[in-house]
Structure 1
Amino acid sequence: MIKSFRYLKPYIGSVILIFTLIAIRARLLLLLPEYLGELIDIVSDTTLSQAERTEGMVYYGGLMIGATILSIVVIVISSFLESRTSSAFAKTLRLEVYKKVQSFSMTEMDKFTTSSLITRTTNDINSLQNTINMLLRMVVMAPFMAIGAIIMAVNTNPTISTVLIFSIITILAVITAIWLTAFPKFKIIQRLVDKLNLVTRENLSGLRVVRAFNTQNVQAHKTKLVAEESMEKGIFVNRVFNLMWPVMGLVQQLTTVAMYYVAIHYGIIQPSSEFTPGDLSAIIQYGTTTLMNFMMLTFIITMIPRASISAKRVMDVIDQDLLIKDPNEPKTLEHVEGEIEFRNVTFKYPNSEEPVLKNINFVARKNQMTAFIGSTGSGKSTLINLIPRFYDVTEGEILLDGVDIRQYSRKDYLKHIGFVPQKANLFKGTIETNIAFGQDEIDEEVVKKAAEIAQAKSFIEKFDHQYQSAISQGGTNVSGGQRQRLSIARAIAKQPKIYIFDDSFSALDYQTDKKLRKELKKHINSTMLVVAQRINTIRHADQIVVLDKGEVVGIGTHAELMKTCRVYQEIAESQLSKEELGNE
């Protein structure tokens, strides 16, 4: 948890001011029992005249009122600063997590999982924010008040103050027992929260499939099992902590009774004694203050285990060592031709024994279309994901215009790539903002031209607000084919030198697919890398790379591969009619 405190550094001035104000408030509160004791002694002193009593009551009463008002002013100011500082701390942490996740490769994303990252960014940082807020308020206040009250109580009467020592030892024993019992459970609870988020997210995202297969009860049972396990651990921890407060309250009441007993039993309060009823009132208040602040310290301590786990989970993300890094002195990308070469590329996923791609060699010429085809699991999407560096190669190198892509900064390199993933993903906003996504300024002409090439213009203009029509999160208010065309338009609007289409035409009907390919060929003068399942999508490509079990088994045009590559022939025979095959 201490590691996360470095993000309080920008707010150190506020922290110092908060601690100063709290120390002032603590001192004011410690004066109140003393003033009250003096007031009681004045009222109970029969030797004083009425005028002297009135004067003393007004004086000490005024001091008490003044100290109380000043204390209220101080706590209002410090509370405002505490809330602002803890909120700013949480905001800084969230931004740091977000920035770090933006630089994650797919390997790191697979390691943490989306549901866990959401939990860390919300629940864990909220837990840290609440703890920081409480620490700012109590980390000075509670020790200052507790120690100050003990000192003042001992100075007033050491004999009665010994009762406090036994009470404090009892409280410390309770705190230790609770810490040892509850702390191990917090790690389990946080893991279960991750698991619950994962199950919930899976159920919500796959709601239509669940309903279609009538498996609501099965999914509900899965959720119930995780929720019940989380509930059991939560109940256990809450029972432990709920037991603490009655015990602490009992200790506080017994301490007060014990102080009265000691005072009476040892005859401390006697007419001849210098120890007055006011002193007894003050020392009992000091005792109560000591115990109350130890209870507050206990409350903080109960928050620390959960916050420590949360802090570790957040810092695990921020401190994650990136597998894909920019070079110390990256090469500049001034003029990009767009030629991509795979040279002896082998790739295997982390923690995997067998490589997914083996010794891949090919060149995608600039301003030409290179297509990739193969059976399911042949490595097409994996290969294409290496180009934007979602993963880095295990062996070999990928070259852009003859230079290893790892020698460029990812930011500069990716400026020249337009990527359309298998699963089209749209963002909450409008059609226009989605097509112009990532652009510094929205050029309406570029947006409209991109939509026209992507065959999206026809359905966009049917909407009431056309390009200003709202898109919901994930694009759930448009069809799959429309999402895919908008995703393609987004890549076209970027006007990059390299286009990557990862099976991006699969949701399009044949006629739309054909028109789109025709428009791409007509208007796009860039390198195009296309992964496809359908031969009709890529049969007119300048070059087709055939993959089988992670290896290149054929490279050439459609006509060439129909003569030389058995794997390609089998794919063609499964997709094309006899008439189409006869015309080859």
Structure 2
Amino acid sequence: MLGKLLFRYLSKYWPLLVGVLVFQFISALAALYLPRLNADIINEGVATADTAYIWRTGVWMLVVSLGQIVCSVIATYFAAKAAMSVGRDIRSDVFARVSGFSEREVSQFGAGSLITRNTNDVQQVQMLAMMGATMFVMAPMLAIGGIIMAVQQDVGLSWLIGVSVPVLLIAAVLVIGRMVPLFRRNQGKIDEINRIMREQLTGVRVVRAFVRERVEEQRFRGANTDLMKLGRNIGSLFVLLFPLFMLILNVTVVGVIWFGGLEVQNGNVEVGTLFAFMQYIGQIMGGVIMVSFMAIMIPRAAVSAERVGEVLDAESSLERPEDGATDFPVPGTVMFENVEFTYPGADAPVLQNISFGAERGETVAIVGSTGAGKTTLISLVPRLFDVTGGVVRVGGVDVREADMDALWKTIGLVPQRPFLFTGTIASNLRYGRSDATDEELWHALEIAQAKDFVAEMPEGLESRIAQGGTNVSGGQRQRLAIARALVHQPQILVFDDSFSALDLTTDARLRQALWRELPQVTKIVVAQRVSTITDADRIVVLEGGEMVGVGTHDELVASNDTYREIVESQLGVDA
């Protein structure tokens, strides 16, 4: 998966990669050439006291060194640009893929895990692309080229390379082999930290209401400690690896000085050649260490690439039709035809044998006990879920055959838990239609009974809204969500228990305004309070996922036991 992911995204930036390879190749050649120049200065210049030769060769060494630095900088710049572009592209594709997920896929992965995959996991792949591009040429050239150059300097000491390099590789394999499973567990622990943190921030009011701060702190501390212990184990392997490399390198250098000194004493090797051999040993070890460092990064990046690939390869259960219908012959109508829905892995359907319709301009209410399937039922209209049996038609078209954008333009949804985005009241209202005028925004606020409290704010429509709308009350948040749906100017309005946070007076005024101002808009209302839907054209009663009654309020009171029980249970509340 790692190779596939990198090839898929890096191949778009092949000119940058070619530049990296060329300049790294030149830089590596310069690095391999410098020890020979150093040897020449000592052997030819110092030994013969030829100052001119020393100056001439020294200046040439300086030019070569500067050229190496410039080439390294350029190669690093190209590598960074390619790697950052790859990270940007992967994050964009992951976001686009997740945006097309249904609630089924989001629940399957988990919101915390999806965030981790699009941040930390992508960063791991991005870092590997960066380091891999810079070391892809340099590491093998220093290792292999260093061996060739060292052997050319003096074959008598080459056996030291034959001993030290295999020992270095064996040490790297043993240590890195233990890191691979730890990296996989580490990403899972990061997922857990994000999940707990997200739950605590989202449910902070519940935590405080039940005085569970200490318990939640302990839960977070436990997950945080587990991550710390795992990170400590990974860190201890890192701590072991590089001192081990340095030990092998230093022992090799000592061996070169010891045995090389004997060769110099016997007149078999010149001093400059010995210094050059030592530098080549350092370069060889440096190349091997680079390869080992890459070997450390690859397993971690491979785990991250696998996790990112799972998201990119995941198919949404909501398949977009290639030539989806954009024309709705019967606008504003909604029809449920023998609808059935079963959640993945469930033993029994949560909805079955549901058949009813809503004509243009009608108000259809859905009532039932908790868990009867009301929210699931209306989620089928905008295709948040797809039916597992039967057909849902909007505007006379099966929603599975309709163009998704065209379908969503006809529907205004006010969810059970209204969510507002960071920004202003105006930006949140225009989320439904970006070209809406201020007059249209105020009109929507007036219908939603939100005009008064918005007008009282110091900046009116430009008043700031915190993430999730936490700086306004639940009732205000609910009314702003209703206004946002109205600005969208849909043909069908779907309210999922969207009046629950309103007092009875505000609720009544809002419903009257909706019915008065939007007579041609179809309204599907999920309600807990019977008082909010007594004037509906049709009321659908759900019980245990089945439709047990349909009719007007008076008809159901007279003929339906389930509805009568609901009404009787609320008489004291509604009185």
Q: Same fold (TM over 0.5)?
A: yes
Q: What is the Cα deviation at residue 443 of structure 1?
A: 1.6
User: Which is further off, 247-256 or 305-314?
Assistant: 305-314
2:326 is aligned, of 314, 324, 332, to 332
Match of 1:143 in 2: 140
SS in 1 for 2:456: coil
| Offset, 1:336 | 5.4
Asked whether the equivalents of residues 124 and 300 of structure 2 are also in contact (C-alpha less than 8 Å), the reply is yes
Partner of 1:358: 352
Moved >4 Å (runs of 4+):
577-580
Structure 2, gaps ≥5 residues long = none
Cα drift, residue 269 of structure 1: 5.7
Amino acid at match of 1:527: T
2:338 to 340, 344, 351: 344
Q: Match for residue 367 of structure 1? A: 361
**5+ long unaligned stretches in structure 1:** none
Question: Partner of 1:500 in structure 2?
Answer: 494
Q: What displacement does 1:334 show?
A: 5.6
1:156 aligns with 2:138: no
Cα distance in 2, alignment partners of residues 158 and 207 from structure 1: 71
Give the superposed CA RMSD: 1.5
1:554 aligned residue (545, 549, 554) = 549
Equivalent-residue separation in structure 1 for 2:513 and 2:4 (angstroms): 55
**What SS does the aligned partner of 1:142 have?**
helix
Within 1, Cα distance between the matches of 2:406 and 2:92? 22
Residues 409-439 of structure 1, C-alpha deviations (whole Å, 9 max, x = no match):
2122111110110001000111011111042
Percentage of pairs with the same residue: 38
CA distance in 1, matches of 2:171, 2:330: 69
- Local SS of the residue matching 1:140: helix
Confirm or deny: 8 A CA contact 1:241 1:302 kept in the other structure.
Answer: no
Residue in 2 that maps onto 1:528 = 523
Aligned match for 2:314, one of 308, 320, 329: 320
Residue by residue, what CA displacement relative to the aligned partner does 1:88-111 show, whole Å, maximum 9, x if unpaired?
111111111110011000110001
- Please state if 1:464 is matched with 2:458: yes
Deviation at 1:314, TM superposition (A): 1.1
Q: Distance in 2 between matches of 1:55 and 1:335?
A: 94
Aligned residue pairs: how many? 572
CA separation in 1, counterparts of 2:61 and 2:558? 101
Preserved CA contact (<8 Å) 2:432 2:487: no
Matching of residues 400-549 of structure 1 within 5 Å: 400-524=394-518, 525-549=520-544
TM-score when normalising by structure 1: 0.95
Q: Secondary structure at the match of 1:418?
A: strand
The answer to whether 1:88 aligns with 2:89 is no
For residues 262-286 of structure 1, what are the alpha-carbon distances to aligned partners after superposition, in whole Å with 9 as ceiling and x for unaligned?
3345x36643x4x321111111100
Aligned 1:1-40 pairs, distance under 5 A: 1-5=2-6, 6-40=8-42
Match for residue 110 of structure 2? 113
2:275 to 271, 281, 285: 281
Counterpart of 1:362 in 2: which secondary structure?
strand
Residue pair 2:557, 2:563 contacting (<8 A) in 1 also? yes
Give the match for residue 568 of structure 2: 573
Is the 2:332–2:361 Cα contact (8 Å) retained in structure 1?
yes
Length-normalised TM-score, structure 2: 0.97
Q: Distance in 1 between matches of 2:205 and 2:387?
A: 37
Cα distance in structure 2, aligned partners of 1:126 and 1:530: 45
Say which SS state the counterpart of residue 461 (structure 1) adopts. helix
* Structure 1 counterpart of 2:540, one-letter code: V
Work out whether residues 82 and 136 of structure 1, in 8 Å CA contact, stay in contact via their aligned partners in 2: yes
Give the whole-Å Cα distance in 1 for the aligned partners of 2:330 and 2:173. Answer: 65
Structure 1 residue aligned with 2:64: 67
State the 1:3 CA deviation. 2.1
Contact persistence 1:336–1:497 (CA under 8 A): no
Match of 2:298 in 1: 304
Q: Aligned in 2, Cα 1:390/1:139: closer, same or farther, shift over 3 Å?
A: same
Distance in 1 (CA, whole Å) between partners of 2:425 and 2:287 is 58
> What amino acid sits opposite 1:462 in the alignment?
E
Q: Shift of the alpha carbon at 1:260?
A: 2.5
Following TM superposition, by how much is the alpha carbon of 1:579 offset from its aligned partner in structure 2, in angstroms? 9.8
Choose 155-164 or 497-506, whichever is displaced more.
Answer: 155-164
1:223 pairs with one of 192, 212, 220: 220
Stretch of structure 1 that moved more, 165-174 or 202-211: 202-211
Q: Which residue of 2 aligns with 1:378?
A: 372
